[in-house]
């Protein structure tokens, strides 16, 4: 009888000690980190939305430039390039613009790599959609370069005076390190950003100095998408983990802890594939250390 009492007391003390550890030591830094990431996510989402809108507005402005559209219709590369460059410089636009023919092949691009590889845009879902759908345009994530750098942008149809489709105009902002640094400058100093590209399964851009901070980034470059598999912090069952550290159900699948940091995946979706599932271009990874 005494042995049972002792064992019961030991079990109770052990459980109590574990609960105290969870409440006083394990949970607080993770809740604090989650709150920092939640605020950062809102800034990232608003920034991406604003960037898409800016690309769309510039696209409309370019389409309304009769001289540019005439030069494009006449397939005058020299005149098209000169006018396009002048407008972009005047607008101080940090991204790139692509003009394609009615098959999606690049006519001219302000990005040298894209222009030198004219079939890159031709293989893109973001290009195929406006080509196939009458009067439609694409607004969202896209990828045209071969170096894995993703972009957000607006792609609109170019039509002749009689209404025939003669090409597309794509206005894109690359999600490169410079872009991430501009966003990071508006966030808490503990927040770091990076971009994971699905096509290459590697990190394609990071905010300032993050390569020296994020050991997990090396794992991503080695394992690709498999690096994200698993639970939040190792228990193997996310709903249980959400009880230990309260995590909103809408954020649970994209939240995880790795290498002493709290992470959130802000997905960059394209349009639905034939299977019905949206095409994933990758994600913006938002991260903060647990220990400040």
4 belongs to a structural domain: no
For residue 194, the SS3 value is strand
Asked whether residue 105 falls in the same domain as residue 212, the answer is: no
pLDDT at 58: 97
For 246-288, what is each residue's pLDDT tens digit? 888 888 899 999 989 999 999 999 888 777 788 899 999 999 9
> What CA–CA distance (Å, rounded) separates 67 from 81?
12
224 belongs to a structural domain: yes
H-type helices in 133-201, by residue range? 177-184
pTM equals: 0.87
For 122-132, what is each residue's pLDDT tens digit? 778 888 888 88
Indicate if the pLDDT at residue 11 is higher than 50. Answer: no
- Band (pLDDT 50/70/90 cuts) for residue 6 is very low
Asked whether residue 183 falls in the same domain as residue 198, the answer is: yes
Q: 154: which strand partners?
A: 139, 171
| Domain range enclosing 129 | 52-174
- Band (pLDDT 50/70/90 cuts) for residue 203 is very high
Among 148, 174, 200, residue at a domain's last position: 174
Cα distances (Å, whole numbers) of residue 128 to 132, 147, 154, 158: 6, 21, 13, 14
Among 135, 152, 174, residue at a domain's last position: 174
Q: 258: which strand partners?
A: 261
Q: 100: which strand partners?
A: 106, 168
Asked whether residue 205 falls in the same domain as residue 262, the answer is: yes
Asked whether residue 148 falls in the same domain as residue 107, the answer is: yes
Indicate if the pLDDT at residue 107 is higher than 50. Answer: yes
Asked if 254 and 41 touch (Cβ cutoff 8 Å), the reply is no
Among 143, 174, 205, residue at a domain's last position: 174
> What CA–CA distance (Å, rounded) separates 285 from 261?
12
For 44-50, what is the mean pLDDT? 97
Asked whether residue 185 falls in the same domain as residue 40, the answer is: yes
79 belongs to a structural domain: yes
136 belongs to a structural domain: yes
- As a whole-number percent, the residues of the chain with pLDDT over 90 amount to 59
Mean pLDDT for all residues in the chain: 86
184 belongs to a structural domain: yes
Indicate if the pLDDT at residue 14 is higher than 70. Answer: no
Q: How many domains does the chain have?
A: 2
- Band (pLDDT 50/70/90 cuts) for residue 200 is very high
Asked whether residue 115 falls in the same domain as residue 136, the answer is: yes
């Amino acid at each position: 009888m005494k042995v049972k009492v002792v064992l019961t007391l030991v079990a109770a003390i052990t459980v109590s000690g574990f609960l105290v550890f969870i409440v006083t030591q394990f949970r607080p830094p993770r809740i604090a980190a989650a709150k920092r990431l939640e605020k950062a996510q809102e800034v990232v989402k608003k920034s991406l939305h604003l960037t898409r809108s800016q690309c769309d507005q510039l696209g409309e402005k370019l389409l309304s430039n009769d001289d540019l559209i005439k030069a494009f219709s006449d397939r005058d590369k020299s005149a098209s390039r000169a006018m396009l460059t002048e407008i972009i410089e005047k607008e101080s636009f940090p991204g790139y613009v692509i003009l394609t023919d009615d098959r999606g092949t690049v006519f001219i691009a302000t990005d040298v790599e894209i222009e030198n590889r004219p079939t890159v845009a031709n293989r893109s879902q973001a290009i195929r959609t406006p080509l196939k759908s009458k009067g439609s345009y694409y607004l969202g994530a896209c990828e045209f370069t071969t170096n894995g750098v993703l972009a957000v942008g607006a792609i609109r149809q170019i039509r002749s005076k009689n209404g025939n489709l003669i090409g597309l105009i794509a206005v894109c902002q690359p999600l490169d390190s410079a872009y991430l640094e501009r966003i990071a400058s508006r966030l808490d100093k503990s927040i770091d950003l990076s971009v994971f590209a699905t096509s290459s399964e590697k990190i394609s851009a990071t905010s300032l100095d993050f390569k020296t901070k994020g050991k997990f980034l090396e794992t991503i470059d080695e394992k690709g998408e498999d690096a994200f598999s698993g639970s939040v912090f190792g228990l193997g069952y996310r709903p249980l983990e959400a009880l230990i550290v309260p995590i909103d159900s809408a954020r649970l699948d994209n939240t995880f802890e790795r290498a002493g940091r709290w992470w959130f995946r802000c997905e960059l979706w394209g349009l639905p594939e034939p299977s019905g599932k949206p095409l994933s271009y990758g994600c913006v990874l938002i991260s903060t250390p647990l220990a400040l």
